Structure 1
Amino acid sequence: MSKDIASFLLVFALFSGWSHAREVRVKSVTASGRVTISVNGVPCITLASGAGSLSVQDRANLIRLRLERWAGAGANPKFGVARKGSSYRVTGAGEILAVPTAADAKRLGLKRRSTAHRWAATLQRAWNTPFLTLSPSGAVIGMGMSRTFQVGGGASGPIYVRSEPEGLVSINQSGKTITLTGRNPGQGSISVIRDGASVTSALLVLKLAGSVRPVQLEVTGGSVPRDVLEEAFSYEIDASMKLEPGCVYKLTQPPAFPSVWTRGDQLTLSATVYMHGPQRLGVTRSIPITVQRRKVDRATGTVLFYSNYPERVTVPQTLFRQTVNHDTNTRLLYHHQNGTSAAMNLGIDIYNPGDKSVHALVVDGTGPVTPDTVLTGHVAAYRYLKRHVDGVGIVLRIPPGARRRIVRAQLKINDTASGILMVRPLSGGDILLTAAAEHGPETDRAPAQLVKNDAVFPSPDKTIEAEYEVGKTWAHIALGRHAITNPNGTKLSGNYGVVYTVKLRISNPTPSPRKVQVLFEAKAGAARGAFLVDGKLVQTPMIYPPAEVKITDFHLRAGERRNVTIITLPAAGGSYPAGIIVHG
């Protein structure tokens, strides 16, 4: 809780006794030979006749004088009824106040006993009703926000309102309703004057902790899963928040994205956030969200960035920095272990050095942060393969000179972060892609000058045609055996991040049905495989040489031929070369 609000609560407690006027007003009005006595604006007793030697006005004066004496003494009488013979007396503060006559009772259509009880009950209710009230007795109002106050009590006549200091709030009055709108931050009060009485309520006007802008998301692909929509939202929500210094926000109601978005080109929904901070008014806001499905043409080329030097990071440093050319699919494979003596942050950033906004497509295959180097690389490959084939990605807008962090990984000692990303500028020019190991919070500074990096490989895709016929020699397909080489002569041992498309033809020339098996073979060490077999995603457990594990199998009828497409890529953390075996 901020000091401003804490001190206001103390003032609020003091002011709470001022939000109503405890004085008691007694009036008598004569009309048509009758006199009505009111307490705090509430008609309580109507006298229709005199009594004995007292005229109706004499009776009224005696009752009014007693009530005024009690009010002036600050008494809090308990009104009741006492019987004496055939008469009934209204009592209060240990005295007789009034005795209803037969004419008084007849006017009400009651007997004198019932009349006395009605007078006593009405007097008690009116006496306990403050003459003038203002509720609430205090309020915290945000700048630009409004709060309604209500004037109550028995007072009558014009209502006069003022704020202290002047200009703290704007005032709009309609009858007994007063609407205050915060204009300037500060502490003060509002006072209401009516019928000679006044009441005051405490005010605290604060700046709001923040405001929100609508979130505009763009994604690609015909079947967009929920996790991609959630990632797109996580990229953009920070930019949609306009927070005051020192304030933070919490997502209290995340957007209800569908499990898979398949229909239509636009999706509309919302999320709810709570913003708060020191010396600011916490506010809850709804963020409108629009998701647009974008159609993207095929890129003119593909290049692989390989960020693995050093694999074990011992000091904070820039790990990779390279230009991503416009309309080129750039695949980044990163795989780094925290070898420092403290927690470390790994950040992947897109920086726009130009003077125009850039829209960049990002296909994210991020593995979990874990000490298991094989697992994180395998999960990254598994996630990337599915999105790569389905064309599912997120389109980000990077303003001129701005930086967007697309990967935030927090690594404990010996943890590894691994992932495969595809980044492609769609409009606005080239961008800079950087990977950095950091101790401490990230900054918005622009990256340093471009550093030459030899781990850039054009044309990082391979297509292999293979054939297996039942009853003949098994088919062996090598993965990562023949390293690709870049123009500088640098080889990529294991071909990590290279996408293999295997076009496999299988046939069964025998007169009987036969089963054909497709196996994953470990050759260089521990490895796991992720494969798309005719669009179906398959993963294998970790195996060690010379083990083999099934990827899938096919049941071929006699004389049947079949074409199968298998897509895979060597995953970081595993040991390659490895292989695919087909036999039956």
Structure 2
Amino acid sequence: MVAWSIAFLSFLLPFMGAQGRDLQSRQAIKAQGSGLTVSWQFEAVKVSEEVTELRAAGVPLLRLRGEGAEATVQRLAAQLNDARWRGISPDMLQVVWIKGGYQLQLQGEPLLTVTHALAQQMGSEPKALAQQWAQRLRQALSWQWLAVPLTEAVIAVGEELTIPLLGNAVGDVQVQARPAEPLRWRVGVEKQAVFVTLKGMDVGAGILRIVKGRVGVRLPFRVLHRAARWRQTPVAWVRGKQVSRGMVWEAIENAVLMAMQFQLGARWQVLPAPDGQMPSFVKPNEALVWRVQVTGEQLLPVDEVVTIPLRSFPSSLGDADLLVISNDPETFRDYRVLCRGLLPVGQTLRFMLHHRNGLTHSAALSLELLNTEEHPVSIITRFGYGMPKESELQAGHEATASFLQGLNDDAAVRLTLPSQSAYRLLRFALKPKDTASALVEVRLDEPAGVAYRVVTTATMPPKTELLTGTQLAEALTGGNEPPPFPKPMRVLESTHVAGGAWTFLSVGRFGLQHPLKGRTLHGNYGVVYRVTLRFVNPTARLWQAQLLVEPTGGVAKGAFIVNGRMVEVPLLRPYQEHLLHAFSLAPHQTQTVTVVTIPSAGSFYPIQLVARTQ
């Protein structure tokens, strides 16, 4: 079969090259099934337990009986079919005397040996029987035949599929489709090769008959919608010194979502190519290779590898203006909206969400952005989260550390919300007792009606979903529940003099106050602390300076940006010290240490920073 494969591929190559000019044409030419559809072929037919016939186009050519007859005829049929593909002349089939009988040979290769016993079984002489069979095989090899390299033609609406006509048939080509409405076709010739090009016009199915001269094939066909089509080239928008894998992934998904037109019911995903892995951080103005897969019932799939550039944009999120805490109840035991409100225009809104699954079965938790406008709306966002886990303390710590790194890098992504749709910025699958924790900042720069919700559901919802009329009305009329806290930042400054008393600064002790609602944010979870500590050495000696952290409210973990570098603190018991930073303070020297931190959900704040010298 090696020779057949080479001949078959060399025949197809001109068509593959001709159709390789654009992406959808390359998709269209792919064979939708394996195998061939042939007008006729040599085949082994078992007519009884002992007897097997070799037939061509249903015509019996020879018959063998006894043990091994079926395997012998199957091998003979395969050899003759291979000879057809190689275009071997029927005259190359010869009858040659060998010891013990006469042998049928094709280009010197043995096909079948007619022994005295076999001839006697057939009531004939070996030479006469061999010549009779050889004449029948030569005649069959001279018959015209037609084949196409498909078992079914599957075409997308608006796309073309080129089918090469294979075989030795000669004459005019005629094509007929029943029903005819789903298809259009044309017959072409390129480098003496004949082909039929089909174009999908409408969804449908039927039978395609292709006749060349006096032989033809019947080929089932289906015309379906492609699951998605590109409307434009995808571009992802990011900014910052570096951008985390999670935010880049979100920007890529959003770029694909807005660049493709999806059929109703299509399911899609994007994965880094070629191995599904990507680095923890990526810099703007790079280009990444991603695999885009779109499937759906009764839809032709999309499976492409595309290069998506990461373009930089100038707008920074800056400091947050408002803080929304989604933590009441911390443990949910039903499916409902846990938090809701409207995005303010021109202000950065920070979310801190921290919820535990109190159900006895799995659930999904989503942060939704609801665009009620009749046109797409863009937002700028950054976020950090940890993977859901039973340890709420670890989940909160991972979210804080991830978000702080993005804050330190001034990282953000610009996303486009589809018109009148729910866009799920974050989606978590929670097993029973799992906790999801995240910190998110969002800014809406253009006047638009965009609402937000934190929702629990029984199953994982899709990335986007069209809003119903009722949902649109509810999004615009609902109030902010809970109301956001203003100015979620604390600036602390202090000076430590070498050799003097230790310096203490509390983080999370004095909670934010809501000016209208009389609410206090105990622990200041989700509030950014920017701390500046001056270490002054007025003496003539060298001091060793230290900056430590110790919990004062209970067990806690923490993440800190110390002089621009991330420092993560392990689980600490109350008043257990942990060194954050140490350095030598020369005589008459002043050094400044900056710290940025956020009280981590799940930990027991307050904690305190301790500055000392020794």
Q: TM-score, normalised by structure 1?
A: 0.75
Superimposed CA distance per residue, residues 389-444 of structure 1 (whole angstroms, 9 cap, x where no aligned partner): 22111111124432211111122222111111111112243532221222345464
Shift of 1:13: 9.6
- The 3-state SS of whatever aligns with 2:555 is coil
Partner of 1:563: 592
Would the aligned equivalents of 2:37 and 2:147 in 1 still touch at CA under 8 Å? no
Asked whether the 8 Å contact 2:273–2:305 carries over to 1, the reply is no
| Residue of structure 2 equivalent to 1:173 | 187
Quote how far apart the aligned CAs of 1:355 are: 4.9
Residues 19 and 162 (structure 1 numbering): CA distance in 2 closer, same or farther, change over 3 Å? farther
RMSD: 3.6
482-491 or 216-225, which deviates more: 216-225
Residues in 1 aligned to 2:167 and 2:369: alpha-carbon distance in whole angstroms: 64
Could you list the per-position Cα deviations for residues 253-282 of structure 1 after superposition, in whole angstroms to 9, with x for gaps in the alignment? 548867644464xx4444333433433333
For the 8 Å contact 1:212–1:287, the answer to whether it is kept is no
Aligned counterparts of 2:212 and 2:423: Cα–Cα separation in 1: 57
Asked if structure 2 preserves the Cα contact closer than 8 Å seen for 1:529 and 1:571, the reply is: yes
Partner of 2:228: 211
What amino acid is aligned across from residue 298 of structure 2 in structure 1?
Q
- Which of 536, 551, 556 is the matching residue for 1:522? 551
Q: Judging changes above 3 Å, is the alpha-carbon distance between structure 1 residues 134 and 165 closer, same or farther for their aligned structure 2 residues?
A: farther
* Contact kept in structure 2, 1:512 and 1:558, CA below 8 Å: yes
Other-structure match for 2:152: 139
8 A contact 1:22–1:131 mirrored in 2: no
Distance 2:255 2:284 in 1: 23
Name the CA shift for 1:373/1:433 in 2 (closer, same or farther; >3 Å): same
Q: C-alpha distance in 2, partners of 1:540/1:162? A: 74
Change (3 A) 1:501 1:282: closer
**CA-to-partner distance for each residue in 1:50-92, whole Å, 9 max, x for gaps?**
xxxxxxxxxxxxxxxxxxxxxxxxxxx9899xxxxxxxxxx87
**Matched residue of 2:394: which SS?**
helix
State the AA in 2 paired with 1:409: F
Percent of aligned pairs with the same residue?
24
Match of 2:336 in 1: 317
Q: Which deviates more, 372-381 or 553-562?
A: 553-562
Name the SS for the 1:546 alignment partner.
Answer: coil
The C-alpha deviation readout for 1:71-126, integer Å capped at 9, x for no partner, is xxxxxx9899xxxxxxxxxx8755599xxxxxxxxxxxxxxxxxxxxxx99x9777
Which of the numbers 250, 268, 283 marks the counterpart of 1:231? 250
CA distance in 2, matches of 1:368, 1:18: 59
Q: Assess, with a 3 A threshold, how the Cα gap between structure 1 residues 167 and 18 changes in structure 2: closer, same or farther.
A: farther
Aligned length: 494
**Alignment-mate amino acid for residue 182 of structure 1:** G
- Computing the radius of gyration from Cα coordinates, the structure with the larger value is 1
- Residue pair 1:19, 1:135 contacting (<8 A) in 2 also: no
Q: Secondary structure at the match of 1:413?
A: coil
Which residue identity does 1:161 align to in structure 2? V
Query: Unaligned regions of 5+ residues in structure 1, if any?
Result: 1-8, 25-38, 46-76, 81-90, 98-119
8 Å Cα contact 1:510-1:558 kept in structure 2:
yes
- Find the counterpart in structure 1 of residue 522 from structure 2: 493
Cα contact 2:36–2:151 (8 A) shared by 1: no
Name 1:537's counterpart in structure 2. Answer: 566
Taking the aligned partners of 1:351 and 1:96, their CA distance within structure 2 comes to: 81
1:351 aligns with 2:380: no
Secondary structure of the 2:436 match is: strand
Give the letter for the 2:199 counterpart: T
Q: Does 1:511 align with 2:530?
A: no
Which one of the candidate residues 566, 576, 581 is aligned to 1:547? Answer: 576
Shift of 1:347: 1.2
CA distance in 1, matches of 2:588, 2:238: 45
CA contact (8 A) 1:519 1:582 kept: yes
- SS of the equivalent of 2:300 reads coil
Partner of 2:122: none
Once the two structures are TM-superposed, the CA of residue 296 in structure 1 deviates from its matched residue by 0.5
- Name the counterpart of 2:400: 381
TM-score, reference length from structure 2:
0.72
Aligned partner of 2:389 in structure 1 is 370
Counterpart of 1:453 in structure 2 is: 481
Aligned partners of 2:335 and 2:457 also within 8 Å:
yes
| Counterpart secondary structure, 1:215 | coil
Q: Return the offset for 1:227.
A: 3.8
Q: Which residue of 1 aligns with 2:208?
A: 189
User: Matched residues in 2 for 1:564 and 1:481: separation?
Assistant: 21
Shift of 1:554: 1.5
Name the structure 1 match of 2:141.
128
Equivalent residues in 2 for 1:263-302 (5 A)? 264=285, 267-287=286-306, 289-296=308-315, 302=321
In structure 2, relative to structure 1, the CA distance for the partners of 1:454 and 1:22 (3 Å cut) is closer
Q: Deviations over 1:160-202 (max 9, x none)?
A: 33334334432222242222333342020222131xx222131
Check whether the contact 1:208–1:283 (CA below 8 A) recurs between aligned residues. no
Cα deviation digits, residues 368-404 of structure 1 (max 9, x gap) = 2111111111111111111112211111112443221
Partner of 1:198: 215
Deviates more, 1:478-487 or 1:233-242: 233-242
CA shift, 1:477, in A, is 0.5
Q: Does 1:163 align with 2:182?
A: no
Tell me the CA shift for residue 521 of structure 1.
0.8
| Secondary structure in structure 2 of the residue aligned to 1:559 | coil
- Cα distance between partner residues in 1 of 2:523 and 2:554: 12
The answer to whether the 8 A contact 1:206-1:279 is kept is: no
Distance 1:486 1:95, change over 3 A: closer
Structure 1 residues 495 and 129 mapped into 2: Cα distance closer, same or farther (>3 Å)?
A: farther
- Which of the numbers 411, 424, 429 marks the counterpart of 1:405? 424
